[in-house]
Structure 1
Amino acid sequence: MQNRRTDRGSFFPVFWKVDSHYPLMDFHKDCNLSQPEDVAIYAEGKYNVKLDGKLFEGTPTTINVPAGQHRINVKVFNQASVPTIYVKGKTVVSDSSWLLTFEDKEWIDETGKTSDVSATKWLNAGSWNFNSPTNLPSQFKLPVVSQSAVSTTANSTSRLIDFGKETFGFVKLHGVKGSGAMTLYYGESKEEALSKDGAVTLDRLQFSNVSKQDSTMPLSKAFRYVNVVMEPTLNLDSVSMLYEYADVKDRGSFKCSDEEINRIYDVAKYTLHLATREFFIDGIKRDRWVWSGDAYQSYLMNYYLFFDSPTVERTMAALRGKDPVTGHINTIMDYTFYWFLGIYDYYLYTGDKSFIKNFYPRMQSMMEYVLGRRNKDGLLQGLPGDWIFIDWANGLSKKGEVSFEQMLFARSLETMALCADIVNDDRGKTTYTKLSDDLKKKLFSLYWNSSKHALVHSRVDGKQTGNVTRYANMFGIFFNYFNDAQKQEVKQHVLLNDSIQKITTPYMHFYELEALCAMGEQDYVLKQMKDYWGGMLNLGATSFWEEYNPTKKGAEHYAMYGREFGKSLCHAWGASPIYLLGKYYLGVKPTAAGYATYTIEPKLGGLQWMQGEVPTPAGNIQVYCSTTQMKVKGAAGKGLLSFQSKTKPICKEGVIEAKGGNNYTLMIEPDKAYTVRYKAK
C-alpha cells in the first residue's frame, strides 16, 4: 500500500526499510473431537498437511479427523503473496485460535526421531478476511462507490471538474472519443488543479481512434478538483469517480449548542475517515504512508469514533516490521517512542492482552536497539541515521540531548514494564521499571529550570540551554510527571505564554490543547478550536490540513516543503477535535484496561449543552450535559461520574456523594440510566 504513492506520475517509494512477508508458514491447531469430522482445506500457496505428525500424500483438499485429541498442521509456501489457509469443518475452522510460526525448528536424526521443537515460537494467526475459498487475501481491495461531480467548467480543450469536497478514489472518464493525448491534473485546491507545473499528482493518457470509450484510472488519488486537458482531436462526455473507503463505522458522536464546533467535529470525522485505509495513514494526497507519529494520533481519535481495533493492530504491526532492528521506526527517534505509546494506550482502551503477548518479543528487540544507543549519561541524542523530528517549526534545535526525546523514552520504558507484567516477564518488569524511574529523575535533575518554571528544551555539552519550548512541558502534564505546583508553573509560564514559540501544526496543537484540557482550561481550548480549526473552515476547508498559519494569505496556505502545493489538505493529525471533545468535554476516559473502570467528568467549557457517545469494548457510554442537567448511561464496567455544582445536586437513580468544595461523585452501574439535576459551577 505504501508504494502506491506517485509524484508527477513517478513512482515514489518510502525511504525506510520495507519488509516482505515470511514466505513459509506452519499453521497448527489442537482439537478434541467428540466424533469424526471431515475438514476442507484451501490455501494460497503450495502446502502439505499432517495429522498428529503423519504427512498426508499429495495436496489434500479434505481430510478426515477421527474422534479424540489431534493436532492438524498445514505448512504453506508462497513467495508471491502472504501464505494463507482457509479451513472449514463442522467444528474445526480457521480462526485466531490457530497458531503459526515461520520456523518450526523441526529436524529428524539418523534414527528417524523427530527433534524437540520446544524452542519454536508460536503466535496466534491473523484471521481478518479469508472468509470463503474464493475470497483470497491477496486480492483484497477496499470497497468503492460511484460518485458524481458537483460542477464542470468546460472550454474547447479542458474540463475543470469539481467534486464539491476533498475526496479519494479512482477518476472515471465517460465517452472518450477520438485520438490524442489527455492529462488529468489533480488538485486539493482549484489553484493546484489549474497548475500544470505545480500539481503534485497527475495521469497522462494516450488514445488512438476510440469511440465512446470509458476509462477508469488505475491508481486512486486524492483531490477535490480534476483538470482534464486534452488535444482538440479528443472529446469527452463526462467525468465521475469511484470513491474508495475503509468500511469502518462511526460508534462515537458529539453534538453541542455551538454550530461552529459541530461543523469542526463533522469535518474532523470526515478527515479521519479519509485517512483510514488498510492502515491509518498520514495524508491522502502526498505521502499516503504509515507514519508512526501520525498513526499514534489516529489511534486515539479512533477510540472515540470507530473503536476499530484491527486497524490499530495492523498499523502497529506494519510499522514495526521484522527483526533485526536496523533503525528507528520511519527513521525518526520520536516515532519509535510513539509506537511504544500506542501499545500502552491500546491495552488501556481495549483490554486486549493477545496483541501484546504476540508482539512482546518485537517490543523487546526494539527497546534493546534504543537502549544500545544511549550515551554515557544514559540519555539519547541524534546519532548518524537518526531523524529527530519533534515538529515542523522554524529554527527548532535538534542538537544535543533534547528533553522531549527523554520524556517519550521514559514513557516507552513504562510501557515495557506494563507489558512485561502482562506476559509474566518479572525480570523484564523490574528492569524496565528501574530504567524508567531513573530516567524520570534525570528529566528533572538535568532539565528543570526553577527560574524559567519549566523544563528547558535541551542540553548541549552537558549544560542546559536557555531555550524553553512547549513540547516536553505539555507532555509532562498529561503523562502526570509534574507535581501540582510544577503543573501550574508550566501552565502559566509555557502554555499560556505568548513569548514561547507558538505551534502551527495540528500535530502538536493536539498535545498542547490536551495538556490545557488536563489542567481544566476547557473554556480557553474551546476558543482555540474555534480560532484554529474554524479558521481553516472559514478558508473553505472541507477536510483539515497538515499545517495552518493564519498569517498566510490566499494560495500561500497550500505551500510546504519548498513546493507551491506541497501541503496536504487532508491530514489525519488535523482531526484531533474528535479526541479532545470525547475525552475532555464529554469527559469519558478509562481508568482500568478495557473500561473495567472509567470516569465521566463533563466540562462544558462555555457550551450551553452537549451530548454524545463514547465507544468501549462492550457498548457505548452516553452523556448529555447542560448547565442544569446531566444524563448518563454506562456500558459494561464500573463508572464514576465526577462534577461540580453550585447547588446540592439531585439524582433519583443513585446516591450522590459530596466530596467538598462543590465537588460531587456518582457511581454508574452498567446499562443503567441516570439523570442529575445540578447547577454548573
Structure 2
Amino acid sequence: MTVTRTPSPSHSPRTSRVRRACLAAVASGAALFALLPASGPAAAAPHPARGPWSDAHYMPHPGDWRPYVLAPSGHTVAPRRILSTDPRGGSLSGDPRALLGQGRGTVRLTSTGDRTTSPLVTLDFGKEVGGRVSIRVAGASATPPKLHVCFSESRQYAATTPTANSGEAAYAPGCDTANIWNGYPGQPYTYDSDSHTLTFDPSHLPATVTDQQIRGGFRYATLFLDGPGWLDLGASSLRFDAAPKQADPAAYKGWFLSSDNELNKIWYAGAYTVQMDTWMPGTAKSWPYTPGEPDHADAVIPGADPGKEVILDGAKRDRVVWQGDLAVQAPVTYLTTDDTDAVDNSLSSLAGQQLADGFVPAESLVGQHNQDEIRTYGEYVTWFVQNHYDHWLYTGDSAYLKKWWPALTRATAWLESVRQQDPGGLIAFGNAGSCGHYGYSDCGHETYVNALYVRNLRDMARLATAEGDKASSGTYAERADVVAAAINSQLWDASTGAYRLSRETPGAYPQDANATAVLTGIAGPDQATRAMDYLHRTSWGTYGALTVAPSTPNASIKPFYEPLPSGFEASARLSLADPSGTQQARGLDLIRTFWGHQLAGDPGSTFWEKADTAGNPGIQQFTSLAHGWASGPTVSLTSQVLGVTPTGPGYASYDIVPVDGGLHWAQGAVPTPHGTITASWRRTAHGFTLTTRAPHGTSGRLAVPTGGKHVRVTLDGRTVWNGTRAVGHAHATSDGVHVYVDGVPAGHHTLTAH
C-alpha cells in the first residue's frame, strides 16, 4: 500500500510533492512495440477464444463459473504469444515462436554492441504472473553476451524509448520501475535496478537456465543481450511462485456468478490479485537499495512462520505486509481460496511488532525504509483491530483471538489515549507524529479515522463479550456512542449534506469520510442518502468516483481515483435501504466503471494501486498493478449482491440478504469452518426466489427484496409473510426493502417473494 508516505527518505516532503504531481499529470503516452504480423500461433489471443475474457458478447451461464478463473491450475505457466520483436542495432533470425515452444529450431539474437543496441524480444504471458523465468539456451558465440530479462506489468510503462521511465531504456529496456528511488517519476534512472541476468555455462550447452531471483509481478518479459555476440534460444516458461501452498491455485473453494459478465470478471480479477500477492515470507523487498544493487526479493518478513505464506501488499512492490491492505485481502481470501494460514501468518507477523505503548506499525519492518516508518501511520492501528475482528468473525478461531487479545486491548488503549488529548473527543494524530494516511496527509480530526475508531470500539465490545469480559464490553460500546455523536455534531455539514474531511479542513467533503460514516452506521438514513447523493453529484468522473470533488477549494487536497475508498463507496451504496434501488444500482455502476476501466488496460487481470484523473496508473511506472487493497468488489459482490455474510463467529450464524441492483440472477458458494454455504437467487417479473443450502452447526437469517411493495413471502412453500405482517408463528419482519426470516436452520431452503 505505498501511497503518500512522508517521514522516510523515499516519502520525504519532496518525494510526496513528486507523487502529488504525478497524480495530477497525464501520462506522456504509451511506449508502443512493433507487433509481429497477426497470423499463426504467435498472434494467439491472451485468453482462449469464446471465453469471458476474450469474447465481448459472452453470456454467463448459471453454474459455469470456472471459465472466469485466472489462476493457473499448476505452478508452471508458458507465455501466450510473442508480443513484439525489434532488431535495433543487431539482428534476429529464425522463428521467435521457438520461445513459445512451438515448432522446431531456435531463434538467434545477435548483438553488435551493448544493451542499448541489442535486439529485443518481448513475451506476453497474457495476464499478471510472477516467479522465475526459464529459457532454453541452445547455443552461443565463442564469447557469449549476457542474457537479461526485463519485466513490466504494462506496455505503457515498459521502457522502450529514450525518455521512458526517466531514462530507464538505456539501462533496462522493456522494464517498468519496481525499486525506490531509482527512476521513480521525476527522478533519473541511473543504473539497472530492474532487469535480471540469466547465467549459464557456455561449455555446457544446450541447457535450460532459470532466473535465480523471483520477479513478483509482470505480464511482459523482454529479452535482451549485453555485449557483442549471439545466443540461440528455445522454449521459455515461468515457475509460478505466487500462492505457493495452493497446489491448484485455480481450485477455488468459494465462487460467484451473476447475469453480468463484467461484474463476474471483476470478482475473479480481485480474487487473482490477492493470489498474486500471496508468497512465502522470504520473498520481501528490503529498501533502500544501494547504487548499483540489482533487483532482488529475498528479504524475510519478521515474525512470520517461514513455512507458511504471507499476503504482501503488491506483487511488484512494496512486497511487505500492510495492515490496511489486509483489511481487503483477508476477506477476499476467506471468500475465495480460504487460505487462512496465509492470513494468520500475516496478522501474527504484524501483531508481533507491537510497541510497548500499544502502537502497532503499519507494515512489516523490513529494511531501513520500513524502520523509518515505524510510527508513521496512526490510521493503520485502526485496521489492526479491524483485521483481528474480521478474522474471528470469518473463522471463529477463538484460540487465535485469545492469543492476540492483549495486543488488541493495548492497541485500542493507544487510540483512546490519543483521543483523550482532544477536548472535543476526537482522534487526531498530529501530536503523536502518526499522521501518515493511505492517500493524503492530514493531521486533523478526520471523519474517516474517527469513523474507523467507532467501528473498532463496537467490534471490541463484541470481542470482549466473547472473551468473557462484560465490563469492558460495556465500556467500549458506550465510548463508541460518544465518538459517533462527536462526529455527527462536529463534522456533519447539514447545509452541504456531507461529512467534512476534518475540523481543520472544513471545505473538503471526501469520499472516504462519507463512505465510512455510512458503512460504520454513524450516518443516519437521511444523512447516508444525502452523503451518497453529494458524492455522486460532485465527485464522480469519467473513470469512477474521485477521492474529493474537483471543485474543492483547498489546493492541498487533490482529486484522484483510489481503489480503497472507492471500494468503501460501492459497498456503502449497496448497504443503503433504498426501495427504489437507485443507490444499489449506482454501487454496481461504480464497480463496473472503475474496476472495468482497470481490466480494459494492462495487465487486464489484476487491479491497480491507484489511478490519476486521466485514468492512468497514478504513480506512472512505479504504480503496482496487482495491489490487493483494490479487490474490494470481490467482497461486496459476495457479501452484498449474493448477500452471504457471517453474523456469528465462523458463520455459526449468518445472513443471506441479496441486493439485486438491477441484476437478473446471482449464485455462489462461501467456504466456512462448518462446510460450504451456497446461495442462488433469481428475479423475474413474477417475483424473487432465493435458494440456499447451509451446513450443520449453522443458523441463518434469509431475506428477499420487495422493491418497497407489499408482497407475499413463502419459506419452503409455507407463507411466512402476508404482505403486511408475519403469519403462522414465523419469525418474519420487514424494513420496507426486504422481508427477513430469522432462525432458519441448516439444510436446503427456498424463500420466495410472490
Q: Does the TM-score normalized on the shorter chain lie above 0.5? A: yes
Aligned residue among 211, 227, 231 for 2:222: 227
Bigger CA radius of gyration: 1
Contact kept, 8 Å, 1:407 with 1:476, in 2: the verdict is yes
Deviation track 1:595-641 (CA, whole Å, cap 9, x = no partner) reads 22222122221112221122222122222211233322223422122
2:407, 2:238 → 1: CA distance? 41
How far does residue 572 in structure 1 lie from its aligned partner after superposition? 0.9
Cross-structure match for 1:267: 269
Deviation track 1:385-429 (CA, whole Å, cap 9, x = no partner) reads 74534443xxx5603222222222232233333333333345544
How far does residue 582 in structure 1 lie from its aligned partner after superposition? 0.6
Cross-structure match for 2:124: 162
1:667 and 1:429, CA in 2 relative to 1: closer, same or farther beyond 3 A?
closer
Cross-structure match for 2:669: 613
- Residue identity opposite 1:545 in structure 2: W
1:279, 1:251 → 2: CA distance? 19
Cross-structure match for 1:641: 702
Aligned residue among 503, 507, 517 for 2:564: 507
Aligned residue among 178, 182, 186 for 2:151: 186
Contact kept, 8 Å, 1:161 with 1:227, in 2: the verdict is yes
- Residue identity opposite 1:188 in structure 2: E
Cross-structure match for 1:310: 341
2:478, 2:382 → 1: CA distance? 18
1:585, 1:341 → 2: CA distance? 22
1:237 and 1:619, CA in 2 relative to 1: closer, same or farther beyond 3 A?
same
- Give 3-state SS (helix, strand or coil) of 1:175's partner: strand
Q: CA RMSD in A?
A: 3.1
Cross-structure match for 1:414: 458
1:314 and 1:447, CA in 2 relative to 1: closer, same or farther beyond 3 A?
same
Instruction: Indicate yes or no: 2:83 matched with 1:149.
Output: no
Instruction: Indicate yes or no: 2:206 matched with 1:212.
Output: yes
How far does residue 656 in structure 1 lie from its aligned partner after superposition? 2.5
2:510, 2:499 → 1: CA distance? 8
- Residue identity opposite 1:357 in structure 2: K
- Residue identity opposite 1:256 in structure 2: S
How far does residue 266 in structure 1 lie from its aligned partner after superposition? 2.4
Contact kept, 8 Å, 2:448 with 2:517, in 1: the verdict is no
Instruction: Indicate yes or no: 2:386 matched with 1:341.
Output: yes
1:657, 1:443 → 2: CA distance? 39
1:545, 1:421 → 2: CA distance? 39
Contact kept, 8 Å, 2:712 with 2:723, in 1: the verdict is no
1:416 and 1:452, CA in 2 relative to 1: closer, same or farther beyond 3 A?
same
Cross-structure match for 2:494: 450
What runs of 5+ residues in structure 2 fail to find an aligned partner? 3-7, 12-72, 86-91, 93-108, 110-118, 161-168, 178-193, 280-308, 363-375, 541-547, 550-558, 725-735
Aligned residue among 408, 423, 427 for 1:380: 427
Output the TM-score relative to the length of structure 2. Answer: 0.65
1:376 and 1:533, CA in 2 relative to 1: closer, same or farther beyond 3 A?
closer
Aligned residue among 600, 610, 621 for 1:547: 610
2:235, 2:432 → 1: CA distance? 49
Contact kept, 8 Å, 1:14 with 1:289, in 2: the verdict is no
Deviation track 1:520-567 (CA, whole Å, cap 9, x = no partner) reads 422112222221122222235222211235734xxxx2460xxx4111
Contact kept, 8 Å, 1:657 with 1:665, in 2: the verdict is no
Contact kept, 8 Å, 2:561 with 2:611, in 1: the verdict is yes
Instruction: Indicate yes or no: 2:587 matched with 1:525.
Output: yes
How far does residue 334 in structure 1 lie from its aligned partner after superposition? 1.2
Deviation track 1:239-265 (CA, whole Å, cap 9, x = no partner) reads 211011323452221112222222222
How far does residue 271 in structure 1 lie from its aligned partner after superposition? 1.6
- Residue identity opposite 1:313 in structure 2: D
Instruction: Indicate yes or no: 2:332 matched with 1:298.
Output: no
2:147, 2:451 → 1: CA distance? 53
1:325 and 1:168, CA in 2 relative to 1: closer, same or farther beyond 3 A?
farther
- Give 3-state SS (helix, strand or coil) of 1:480's partner: coil
Aligned residue among 485, 490, 493 for 2:531: 490
Instruction: Indicate yes or no: 2:555 matched with 1:625.
Output: no
> How many residue pairs end up in the alignment?
530
Deviation track 1:557-596 (CA, whole Å, cap 9, x = no partner) reads 2460xxx411111111222221111111111122222222
- Residue identity opposite 1:298 in structure 2: Q
- Give 3-state SS (helix, strand or coil) of 1:584's partner: helix
1:666, 1:415 → 2: CA distance? 25
What runs of 5+ residues in structure 1 fail to find an aligned partner? 6-11, 16-142
Deviation track 1:440-489 (CA, whole Å, cap 9, x = no partner) reads 232223222322333321123xxx72322222221121211222232233
Contact kept, 8 Å, 1:658 with 1:664, in 2: the verdict is no
Deviation track 1:314-357 (CA, whole Å, cap 9, x = no partner) reads 11111222453475422311111111011122222222221111
Contact kept, 8 Å, 2:678 with 2:692, in 1: the verdict is yes
- Residue identity opposite 2:122 in structure 1: L
- Residue identity opposite 2:383 in structure 1: Y
1:379, 1:272 → 2: CA distance? 34
Cross-structure match for 1:586: 642
1:307, 1:655 → 2: CA distance? 37
1:206 and 1:621, CA in 2 relative to 1: closer, same or farther beyond 3 A?
closer
Aligned residue among 481, 485, 496 for 1:437: 481
How far does residue 287 in structure 1 lie from its aligned partner after superposition? 1.0
1:483, 1:144 → 2: CA distance? 49
1:497, 1:665 → 2: CA distance? 35
- Give 3-state SS (helix, strand or coil) of 1:635's partner: strand
Moved more, 433-442 or 450-459: 433-442
Instruction: Indicate yes or no: 2:700 matched with 1:656.
Output: no
Query: Which has more strand, going by share of residues?
Result: 1
- Give 3-state SS (helix, strand or coil) of 2:278's partner: coil
Higher RCO (CA-CA < 8 Å; seq separation 6+): 2
How far does residue 223 in structure 1 lie from its aligned partner after superposition? 1.2
1:413, 1:265 → 2: CA distance? 31
Aligned residue among 239, 242, 256 for 2:239: 242
1:425, 1:207 → 2: CA distance? 63
Contact kept, 8 Å, 1:171 with 1:239, in 2: the verdict is yes
1:14, 1:420 → 2: CA distance? 40
1:657 and 1:616, CA in 2 relative to 1: closer, same or farther beyond 3 A?
farther
Alignment of 1:2-13 (within 5 A): none
How far does residue 671 in structure 1 lie from its aligned partner after superposition? 4.2
2:466, 2:610 → 1: CA distance? 39
1:439, 1:385 → 2: CA distance? 19
